[in-house]
C-alpha cells in the first residue's frame, strides 16, 4: 500500500508564512540591536569612568604647616573646580590669613591638570621652641599646641563641584592626619550614583528607539 506523502503546496498560505517569517526575523534583529546598543553604552560609560577627572583630598605636612592637598588622580583635567572649606578650625584659626584663604577660595574657580595637585594652607603644625608668623599674626609653640588640642578633632567640611557635574561632599579632621597619616577620600559613592543615573538615561533612550522600530514593523504588517 502506498502512502501519499506529497504536500499540497497549492493550499499553503505563503503570504501568512512570509509575514510570520518577517516578524521572527524583525524580532531577532530588534533583540540583537538592543543588546548591541546596551553593550556600546556600557562600554562607553566604563571608558569615561576610567579616564575622567577624579579629585582626592588629603592633608600634607610640610615643615611647620599643614596643607589641604587637592589631587587630580584621573586622566583628564578637572576644571571649574569650586571648593567651600568650612568648620571650626577654619573659622577660629589662629591666623587671619588662613581665614582669608578659604573665604576667597569659595568665590573662585580653578583647574587641576591630570596627575597634578594644589595645596592650601590650613593650619600650623607644632614646632617645639619656635614661634610661627603668618601675615601680621605671630603665635608661640604653646599657643599652637593648645589650639591643635582644642580643634584637632573638629571636622573640616569640604563641599563643592567640578567639571560642572561632579559633586564634592567630604569631611576630615587634622588629628586624622596626625594619627593615621594622610586621609584620602575618593568620593566613590557619589561617582557610582552619578554613573547609574547616566546609565538609566541612556537605557531609556534605547527603549524609546526600539519602540519606534517596533511600531514601524507593525505598520508594515
CA distance 47 to 37: 15
Copy the grid coordinates of residue 152. Answer: 584637632
CA distance 217 to 81: 49
Query: 16-54: per-residue pLDDT in tens?
Result: 667 677 777 777 777 777 766 766 666 566 566 678 999
Query: 166-207: per-residue pLDDT in tens?
Result: 999 999 998 886 655 544 433 433 433 444 444 444 445 444
Query: What is residue 157's three-state secondary structure?
Result: strand
**The pLDDT value given to residue 102:** 93
**The pLDDT value given to residue 3:** 52
**The pLDDT value given to residue 12:** 59
For residue 117, the cross-strand partners are 71
CA distance 206 to 39: 11
**The pLDDT value given to residue 188:** 39
Q: Of 66-70, 81-85, 125-129, 142-146, where does mean pLDDT reach its minimum?
A: 125-129
CA distance 21 to 27: 10
In angstroms, the Cα distances linking 24 to 18, 58, 172, 213, 219 are: 10, 58, 59, 14, 15
In angstroms, the Cα distances linking 178 to 66, 152, 160, 181 are: 10, 9, 25, 6
Query: 64-122: per-residue pLDDT in tens?
Result: 888 999 999 999 999 999 999 999 999 999 999 999 999 999 999 999 999 999 999 99
Domain locations in the chain as residue ranges:
51-186, 188-221
* Reported confidence tier of residue 4, pLDDT bands at 50, 70, 90: low
Amino acid at each position: 500500500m502506498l502512502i501519499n506523502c506529497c504536500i499540497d503546496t497549492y493550499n499553503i498560505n505563503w503570504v501568512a508564512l512570509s509575514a510570520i517569517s518577517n516578524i521572527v526575523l524583525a524580532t531577532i534583529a530588534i533583540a540583537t540591536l538592543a543588546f548591541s546598543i546596551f553593550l556600546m553604552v556600557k562600554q562607553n560609560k566604563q571608558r569615561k569612568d576610567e579616564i575622567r577627572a577624579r579629585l582626592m583630598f588629603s592633608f600634607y605636612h610640610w615643615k611647620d604647616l599643614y596643607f589641604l592637598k587637592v589631587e587630580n588622580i584621573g586622566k583628564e583635567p578637572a576644571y571649574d573646580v569650586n571648593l567651600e572649606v568650612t568648620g571650626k578650625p577654619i573659622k577660629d584659626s589662629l591666623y587671619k590669613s588662613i581665614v582669608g584663604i578659604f573665604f576667597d577660595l569659595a568665590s573662585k574657580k580653578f583647574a587641576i591638570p591630570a596627575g597634578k595637585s594644589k595645596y592650601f594652607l590650613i593650619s600650623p603644625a607644632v614646632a617645639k621652641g619656635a614661634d610661627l608668623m603668618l601675615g601680621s599674626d605671630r603665635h608661640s609653640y604653646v599657643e599652637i599646641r593648645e589650639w591643635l588640642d582644642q580643634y584637632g578633632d573638629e571636622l573640616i567640611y569640604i563641599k563643592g563641584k567640578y567639571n560642572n557635574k561632579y559633586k564634592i561632599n567630604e569631611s576630615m579632621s587634622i588629628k586624622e592626619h596626625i594619627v593615621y597619616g594622610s586621609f584620602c577620600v575618593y568620593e566613590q559613592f557619589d561617582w557610582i550614583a552619578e554613573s547609574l543615573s547616566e546609565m538609566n538615561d541612556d537605557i531609556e533612550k534605547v527603549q524609546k528607539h526600539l519602540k519606534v522600530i517596533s511600531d514601524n514593523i507593525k505598520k508594515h504588517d
